[in-house]
Structure 1
Amino acid sequence: MEFLTGVGLSSAAGLNAYIPMLILGLLDRYTGLVQLPPAWAWLSNGWVLAILGALLAVEIVADKVPVLDSINDWLQTVVRPAAGGIVFSSGVSSETVRVADPDSFFGSNQWIPVAIGIGIALAVHLVKMTMRPVLNATTAGTAAPVVSTAEDAVSAGLSFVAVLLPVLVLVGLAALGMVLFRTYRRFRRRAAA
């Protein structure tokens, strides 16, 4: 179950880096639904939550504006995978943040959850980053706010599902993949016509 939680959270981070981090931090701080391991407790710090909220607000606005959304995607190429590594690792309760001795960190298996989360978030991010210019070009930019809002909703929904009902992550990811594929194919046909 922890693995599914990590997969759902890192997939959500590939769409929006700050939503799953903010949800984990808020749920840990204000509810009993999430108990972050001590190494990840900083996610529920008030200052961290405020910074994540501010970054989320900037991300939401930037992602709704055509052209600016593509620039934002390029900038987020490092941030989203890093966030994916953080939320995957915290989702599977891995102690990987505090690395006092890099040899012991890489010599042990502590780096594996971080690497898995980075890979998942990067894959989702690259699909998003590739599709967005095609959608903007075929719709003269009118798709940007609609698609971005849908991505934010999917990221939030997937984050909550990953925490509350991790089994549904598989269903959610399959549905997301199907929707992305069909949307991409439909807009490619329009662009070719």
Structure 2
Amino acid sequence: MFAALTGLGLSTAAGFNAYIPLLVVGLASNFTDKVALPSGFDWMGQWWAIGLFSVLLLVEVVVDKVPVVDHVNDIIQTAIRPASGGAVFSATTAATEVDNSAWLAERPWIGWTVGIVSALAVHGVKALVRPVVNATTAGVGAPVVSTIEDGGSLGMSLVAIFLPILVVVFLVALVWLAVVMIRRLKRRRARRAARRRGEPGTTVEM
């Protein structure tokens, strides 16, 4: 149960930032006993991989805060974030072999599928909302929202590893926030469509 929550939390975090959960998993495997990477995933804890994740994270942190460039980055990350989500979910659930609870480890496709879908869902909402934020704030909101997303990814990653039971709370809050933002986006689009049709808020020549 806790292994699944850990994997779900990490893959959700990957939807915001592909490299933060990978980096957290790699460091945790070296400095704590909370993550025991099994064979096939132990490369995540290698220092060359940690160094690579750090460089990629630095690039991501910078480009994701620049209007327009962040949109291009989201397009590129459509493949990377889900892959990261699948990897961290599978790595942490496969590690349950250490606890003699290998149900997910014996069915690796489940971990990959859930991880990919979770990360892709979060990434999809992020990619949908960000252009609206940029347009409505003249780009000023991009670095603010990006910083919040990075903080959320880091927070979710740490909670997933050290307090996995709280992942449920984070996910409920995230779903609620996503629903609120999507509803606002739909209302904004509806108002724009109404103005174009000459409905309330416009005048029509008779």
TM-score by length of 1: 0.87
Checking the alignment, whether the CA contact within 8 Å between 1:135 and 1:187 is kept in structure 2 is: no
Which residue of structure 1 lines up, in the alignment, with residue 37 of structure 2? 36
Which residue of structure 2 lines up, in the alignment, with residue 49 of structure 1? 50
Matches within 5 A, 1:111-150: 111-150=109-148
Regions of 4+ moved over 6 Å: none
Checking the alignment, whether the CA contact within 8 Å between 2:160 and 2:167 is kept in structure 1 is: yes
Matches within 5 A, 1:31-110: 31-93=32-94, 109-110=107-108
Which residue of structure 2 lines up, in the alignment, with residue 163 of structure 1? 161
Which residue of structure 2 lines up, in the alignment, with residue 182 of structure 1? 180
**Partners in 2 of 1:64 and 1:159 — Cα distance?**
21
CA RMSD of aligned residues (A): 1.8
**Partners in 2 of 1:126 and 1:89 — Cα distance?**
21
Q: Residue type matched to 1:27 in 2?
A: A
Which residue of structure 2 lines up, in the alignment, with residue 173 of structure 1? 171
Checking the alignment, whether the CA contact within 8 Å between 1:63 and 1:148 is kept in structure 2 is: yes
**Partners in 1 of 2:186 and 2:136 — Cα distance?**
8
**Partners in 2 of 1:110 and 1:94 — Cα distance?**
11
In structure 1, stretches of 5+ residues that fail to align are 96-107
In structure 2, stretches of 5+ residues that fail to align are 97-105, 193-206
Checking the alignment, whether the CA contact within 8 Å between 1:94 and 1:113 is kept in structure 2 is: no
1:173 to partner: Cα distance:
1.0
Structure label with greater radius of gyration: 2
1:35 to partner: Cα distance:
1.4
Q: Residue type matched to 1:81 in 2?
A: P
> Identity of counterpart residues, as a percentage?
50
1:43 to partner: Cα distance:
0.4
TM-score by length of 2: 0.82
After superposition, give the CA deviation of every residue in 1:78-106 in whole Å (9 maximum; x if it has no partner): 000000000010121269xxxxxxxxxxx
Between Structure 1 and Structure 2, how many residues are aligned?
Answer: 181
**Partners in 1 of 2:147 and 2:21 — Cα distance?**
15
Matches within 5 A, 1:18-37: 18-37=19-38
